[in-house]
Amino acid sequence: MTAMTVGAEVGAPVRRAPLLRLFRSELRMILRRPRNIIGIGLLGLVPVVAGIGISIAASGSSSSDGDSVDGLAALVDGNGMLLPIFALVLALNMLLPLTGAMLAADALAGESAHGTLRGLLLAPVGRGRLLAVKAMGVATVVLLSIVLMAVTGLVTGLLLLGGDGMLSSSGTQLPFVDGLGRIGLTIVLLTVQIWALAAVALAVSAYTEHPLIVIVCSLGLLIVSGVLSAIPALDWLDPVLIISSWESIGEVVRDPLDWAPLGEGVLRAVCYMVIGISIAYGRMLSRDG
């Protein structure tokens, strides 16, 4: 008994390696699925399409007032560094949550559906570590898709729309490096929000063996949150809804930045992550092989 404990303690630092290996193999598995590759590739195309659309719209309306595009899109014309932010904020409404939900659905429910989760549960890997690997796989691929979108957006923006530095919505010209910082900030904020949704999806994923249910539940959560936030009588509910800080992400294009709503959004997302992961963990522990 004592020997084993000692052995385990001696072996403890060595344990990290398998976790990393598991994580790498999980990542390889996710990225080898054709649907994931196609999905991520299409996400990467979104900023390109948006950029082409905006440049066509802008050149078509150059004779008139230029009011044909409004909102953030109006700012993007001739201001290429804003394109990745614009495209990411656009994708936040549906495409990115869909990606997160799809990955989370594959992670546990998908394995159940194929009957492969049983093998994983029986394997000499702790259930907590199994969940950690699955969650890290989902998180990494979500981050990867968002970064890919930002990169294609930035390249498209600089090539098609041009612009020197970034014009903030407050009318100030930010230098190139600051602009990159804003894009980086957008990536971080968006990633955290999608992680929050993916964590909830993962919890659902742990309970069912039908990946479709996970996607339906996650998108249902979004739609219901949207409806609830639109009802004025339920305004008091707003601060706990998962989507309530998504709108404020568009504020990264302001100058000076107001950190308060952004920080609040991250905290809210962390709360949802804690809820999602702990429910998923509880389910994984109690699940029979």
Partner 1 sequence: MNRKKTALSVAAAGTATGVVGLVLIASPAGANEPPPALPGISAEALVESVLSKDHIPALSGAVEFQQNIGLPIPGLPASSAEGDAIAHVYANGDGAGRISIDQGQSERTVVHNNGTTWVWNSANRSVTKYANTDSDTEDKGTPEQLADPAGTAREVVGLMQRDSTLTVDGTARVAGRPVYQLVLTPKPTERTLLREIRVSVDSETRLPLRLDVLANGQADPAVRVGFTEFKPGPQDPALFTFTPPAGAKVTDGKDAKTHGFDEKNVESLLGGLDFKTVGEGWDTVLTGKFPAQLLSQGLPTGNGRGGETPGALIKQFAKEVTGPFGTGYAISTHVGTALITTDGRIAVGAVPQQVLVDALGQK
Enter the DSSP assignment of 166: E
DSSP states of 136-163: HHHHHHHHHHHHHHHHHHHHHIIIII--
Closest CB 128 distance from partner 1, rounded Å:
9
**Cβ–Cβ < 8 Å for 216, 201:** no
Q: Does 268 bind partner 1 (CB under 8 A)?
A: yes
Near partner 1 in 76-115, by CB under 8 A: 78
Whichever of 19 and 270 has its CB closer to partner 1, that residue is: 270
Tokens of 233: 């009588």
Binding residue (CB under 8 A) for partner 1 from 144, 173, 188, 219: 173
Collapsed DSSP state (helix, strand, coil) of residue 96: helix
Q: Does 66 bind partner 1 (CB under 8 A)?
A: yes
Q: Does 25 bind partner 1 (CB under 8 A)?
A: no
Closest CB 80 distance from partner 1, rounded Å:
12
Q: Does 270 bind partner 1 (CB under 8 A)?
A: yes
- How far apart are alpha carbons 141 and 144 in whole angstroms? 5
Window 217-256: contact mask with partner 1 (x via CB under 8 A): ------------------xx-xxx-------------x-x
Binding residue (CB under 8 A) for partner 1 from 28, 172, 176, 231: 172
Candidates 24-32, 42-50, 67-75, 92-100; binding stretch for partner 1 (CB under 8 A): 67-75
Is the four-CA dihedral 229, 234, 236, 241 of positive or negative sign? Answer: negative
**Cβ–Cβ < 8 Å for 106, 98:** no
Q: Does 286 bind partner 1 (CB under 8 A)?
A: yes
Task: Return the amino acid letter for 206.
Answer: A
* CA-atom Rg of the chain in angstroms: 22
Residues in the chain: 289
Footprint of partner 1 (CB under 8 A): 65-67, 70-72, 74-75, 78, 164, 167, 169-173, 235-236, 238-240, 254, 256, 258, 260-261, 264, 267-268, 270-275, 277-279, 281-286
